[in-house]
Amino acid sequence: MSDEVVRVHHVMKREFDTIDGMATIADALRTMKHVETKSLIVDKRDDDDEYGILLISDIARFVLGQDRSPERVNVYEVMAKPVISVDPEMDIRYCARLFTRFSLSRAPVIESGKVVGIVSMADLVLKGLYKDL
């Protein structure tokens, strides 16, 4: 890598979709199919709540793998909450270490208490490391 520090905000996706925790998995799947994404940020219910994240792998594990109906399962039953988030100013090397330590594939990027993006391990490698090669 070059001497310039590559930060999370350089590689994160600024466009992401959110969903309410009370929505069904069927609603979530329709949203995911429409935007072709592997995750959705679950909105806070109020200022004292925390963000959640719904991954396609969670749906596979807890809905498909357990033969549950997507129309009868709510997002809050499957999502991860609270989420491990990253700061947009974090060096991508530390972000990769964080992902490895906690077996994460992606995380919301939070600044001043608001989600400003989402970053994945693929973003770190392909937009951060690979861009110099």
* Contact predicate 95/120, CB 8 Å: no
pTM above 0.95, yes or no: no
The CATH class of 8-132 is alpha beta
List 91's β-bridge partners, or say none. Answer: 7
Q: Taking the domains of the chain in order of start, what are their residue ranges?
A: 8-132
Cα separation, 51 vs 30, in Å, equals: 21
Digits of tens for pLDDT over the chain (133 positions)? Answer: 456 899 999 999 999 999 999 999 999 999 988 766 789 999 999 999 999 999 999 999 999 999 999 999 999 999 999 999 999 999 999 999 999 999 999 999 999 999 999 999 999 999 887 765 5
